Amino acid sequence: MKRKVDDLAIFGGSAEFTSTLHVGRPNIPNIARLLKRIEGILDSKWLTNDGPYLQQFEKRIADMIGVRNCVATCNGTGALEILVRAAGLKGEVIVPSFTFVATAHALQWLNVKPVFADVELETHNVDPDHLEHLITKHTTAILGVHLWGRPCRTERLQKIAEEKRLRLFYDASHAFGCSHHGRMIGSFGDAEVFSFHATKFLNTFEGGAIVTNDDQLAERMRLMRSFGFNDYDSVISVGANGKLNEVSAAMGISCLEEIETFIAVNRRNYQIYRQRLSNVPGLTVLHYDEIETNNFQYIVMVIEEETFELSRDDVLAILWKENILARRYFFPGIHAMEPYRSLYPNSGRNLPITERLVKQVLCFPTGTSINTEDVTQICDLLEFIIEKKDSIRRRLTNTSLG
């Protein structure tokens, strides 16, 4: 039977999916191999404090990225905070507002002022032209974000940093396993930070890492992640407890062994979404450059209400009622969140692209937790919404979304 608008759950029909499809469900490696590693950890009774799995994990990351140092941490936010402290950043650091709030929190937590730059409409990454105008005598660093795993304009940012004598760092939380001009992300700037949270392409349950070719910076960060200890009972610097435990490191190694599988599944899902939806007026499926290495972890769509004739939030409400838990990112922009909107009330006055994107971006389920049939059904539903959007828009005008 052909579907009708009244069949949508938002209008009293039944949900398209009996089980819920989420954005950000974890990629799980071979469970038997992981459990064997965990059994070995329990037998050894070496659960944390620079154990053999941590050392192996750090070496494999550094070798894969092509850098001398990888400092693994308990989470990505802790990695950012350790980097900020170890680099001695003060004053102001320029960051995009269109990113996850932890990027700014790591600065504000350490009394460094985040100065919010706008992003480019095409890439969603920080706009070097806007960023350059924000540099003052108080600026000490640039912190770019490789959003969706797509690289910042690293060459331009490097030139600005060198000309203005600023440190250059990157939040590469989305970009593990991605490259730029054939060079792995993680090897740009003075240092880059990865997140290995459960929602990321590669996860350690919860974790993070800083990668760098700066040996002195790496040494300071290793001290700081372990209370400043440089020996059994010798403390030589201020520090915190930012260590990655052995079970998490074992999870990371197990996931590294499955990277090609994760990529293949993500790429397959991306190609279905893109093939089905790439020619819809007012809906843009963000493109990945397949000449480069990508993790394809994010299915990002930009919905322009004027052309599409439904708002991003209208589409989101329909999808949620159908048990498709798409997510709006990065609403409402860090500058519009507390404490930043109170601390820096003027910071959002010149961020037109950010203000636009926070109302348009929607991320869709992908990863190893869903199959091709799921993706096809999601596309079927979206095509139905597109086909019937005039009727849906009229119904939405008279219906509370709850």
The three-state secondary structure class of 71 is: strand
Residue 305, classified by CB atoms within 10 Å of its CB into exposed (0-12), middle (13-18) or buried (19+), is: middle
Q: Check if the beta carbon of residue 170 is closer than 8 Å to that of residue 189.
A: yes
E-assigned strand segments in 87-156: 92-96, 113-117, 139-145
Per CATH, the architecture of 31-256 is what?
3-Layer(aba) Sandwich (3.40)
pLDDT at 2 over 80: no
Which parts of 98-257 fold into alpha helices (H)? 102-108, 128-133, 154-164, 215-224, 246-256
User: What is the pTM assigned to this prediction?
Assistant: 0.96
- Return the pLDDT at 399: 66
The three-state secondary structure class of 131 is: helix
Nearest-angstrom CA–CA distance, 145 and 125: 7
pLDDT in tens, 164-203: 999 999 999 999 999 999 999 999 999 999 999 999 999 9
Split at pLDDT 50, 70, 90, the class of 402 is: very low
Single-letter amino acid code for the residue at 78: G
- Ranking 4-18, 33-47, 350-364, 376-390 by mean pLDDT, the lowest is 4-18
pLDDT in tens, 328-356: 999 999 999 999 999 999 988 899 999 99
Q: Mean per-residue pLDDT for 294-317?
A: 97
Q: How is domain 5-26+258-326+365-397 classified at the CATH fold level?
A: Aspartate Aminotransferase, domain 1 (3.90.1150)
Q: Where are the domains of the chain?
A: 5-26+258-326+365-397, 31-256
pLDDT in tens, 222-279: 999 999 899 889 999 999 999 999 999 999 999 999 999 999 999 999 999 999 999 9
Split at pLDDT 50, 70, 90, the class of 364 is: very high
Q: Cβ–Cβ contacts within 10 Å for residue 306, how many?
A: 7
pLDDT-above-90 percentage for the chain: 92
